[in-house]
Amino acid sequence: MGVGDDAALLCTGDGMELAVSSDMLVSGTHFLADTDPFRLGHKALAVNLSDMASMGAVPRWATLALALPRAEEDWLQRFSAGFFALADAHGVELVGGDTTRGPLNICVTIMGEVPRGQALRRDGAKVGDDIWVSGVLGMAALGLAHTKGEFVLDGVTRDMCLAALQQPQPRVALGLALRGIARSAIDISDGLLADLGHILERSAVGAEVNLESLPVMQQGVAQPDAQRCALTGGDDYELCFTAPVAARGTLAALAAQLALPLTHIGQIRAGYDCVLHDAAGKQIKIEKTGYDHFA
């Protein structure tokens, strides 16, 4: 399986499939130039691990291509420490790459393994499935808005949102556990509505999402802002997945086992559109569904 999912799947002839994905982080587009290099090294690998998570693949190997405006030993040491701390935590080996001079640009290619036919994909959602998300959505977008001065976060809320932006936690354990439970999955990088839209498109189905069901920040930020960031902000690197109604008990037990909130936010329906409802059941119109790389 090639282009169109969170990773390509390549048959290796030993009963396994190789999952392969690349992600690029560009200074000024995906991170600010003064971002802590330790957190940047973590994030550079985390966004790729998130692709493995959404495919239900065990991450194995990575390559790193790095363009640097100049060689700064302290920056490189801290970046490497962040990268390798996360790599070691997930058993990932850095097996190659390239380094050159240029504007700060980081590109990681990751490879993982999944038993043949067991990968989570975008094209498996069925009418009647529940729609689920992991974790708390919108925190990274709130952290970015704070950094850009669009509004001010304070105290614990600020620290949590900045950590979510700069040091996301890839849900690899969840992705592996969802094999045989979830019918489709994707990681949330461009915004919930945009990424759920990829599942709907590939599965040829529609959806209903309940605004009040979204797991968002409950303190230190106005709820409309928290909900907007959850819907369209992106950079969450949580998983959005669909599963049959019969799996609700299993997923509740899994959430407890992983100490990770899993929230039922809507249903897969016939059709092709994603309809968003408020608490009163009124349909809400959303102009922007997520991050546009060329806007």
CA 75 – CA 196 distance, rounded (Å):
37
* Full domain range(s) for residue 231: 130-284
In residues, how long is the chain?
Answer: 295
Looking at residue 295, its pLDDT comes to: 47
Q: Which residue has the tokens 């977008």?
A: 141
**Do 52 and 101 have their domain in common?**
yes
CA torsion sign for 102, 39, 76, 85 is negative
Sorted by sequence, the CB contacts under 8 Å of residue 85 that are 6+ apart come out as 42
Residue 199 has pLDDT above 90, yes or no: yes
151 belongs to a structural domain:
yes
**Do 109 and 244 have their domain in common?**
no
Residue 294 has pLDDT above 50, yes or no: no
Looking at residue 187, its pLDDT comes to: 95
Closest CA relative to residue 247, chosen from 264, 261, 266: 264
Q: Are 123 and 203 in contact (CB under 8 A)?
A: yes
Residue at a domain's end among 115, 147, 175 = 115
**Do 170 and 79 have their domain in common?**
no
Average pLDDT score over the chain: 90
Closest CA relative to residue 110, chosen from 33, 159, 170: 170
Looking at residue 188, its pLDDT comes to: 96
Looking at residue 52, its pLDDT comes to: 94
CA 236 – CA 226 distance, rounded (Å):
13
CA 31 – CA 13 distance, rounded (Å):
39
> Within 13 A of 238's CA, how many CA atoms are on the CB side?
29
Percent of the chain with pLDDT over 70: 93
Closest CA relative to residue 18, chosen from 64, 65, 59: 59
CA torsion sign for 139, 143, 148, 150 is positive
CATH of the domain at 261: 3.90.650.10
**Do 175 and 91 have their domain in common?**
no
**Do 264 and 150 have their domain in common?**
yes
Q: Are 267 and 215 in contact (CB under 8 A)?
A: no
CATH of the domain at 73: 3.30.1330.10
Q: What is the mean pLDDT of residues 47-67?
A: 94
Looking at residue 265, its pLDDT comes to: 97
Percent of the chain with pLDDT over 90: 71
Grade residue 35 by pLDDT with cuts at 50, 70 and 90.
confident
Looking at residue 288, its pLDDT comes to: 64
CA 127 – CA 129 distance, rounded (Å):
6
Looking at residue 23, its pLDDT comes to: 80
Helices assigned H by DSSP within the chain: 37-55, 73-89, 139-147, 155-166, 172-177, 192-203, 223-232, 248-258
CA torsion sign for 243, 244, 247, 252 is positive
Pick the more confident residue, 24 or 109.
109
167 belongs to a structural domain:
yes
Q: What is the mean pLDDT of residues 96-116?
A: 92
Looking at residue 1, its pLDDT comes to: 59
**Do 260 and 168 have their domain in common?**
yes
CA 219 – CA 226 distance, rounded (Å):
10
Q: 3-class SS at 23?
A: strand
Grade residue 8 by pLDDT with cuts at 50, 70 and 90.
confident
pLDDT digits (tens, 9 = 90+) for 205-247: 999 999 999 999 988 899 999 999 999 998 999 999 999 999 9
Looking at residue 218, its pLDDT comes to: 87
Q: Which residue has the tokens 């801290």?
A: 78
Grade residue 175 by pLDDT with cuts at 50, 70 and 90.
very high
Cross-strand partners of 150: none
Q: What is the DSSP string of 91-144?
A: TPEEEEEEEEESS-EEEEEEEEEEETT----SS---TT-EEEEES-SSHHHHHH
Residue 149 has pLDDT above 50, yes or no: yes
Calculate the CA dihedral of residues 157, 197, 188, 171 and round it to 10 degrees: 120
Looking at residue 168, its pLDDT comes to: 95
**Do 111 and 135 have their domain in common?**
no
Looking at residue 283, its pLDDT comes to: 85
- Weakest-pLDDT range from 85-89, 103-107, 124-128, 197-201: 103-107
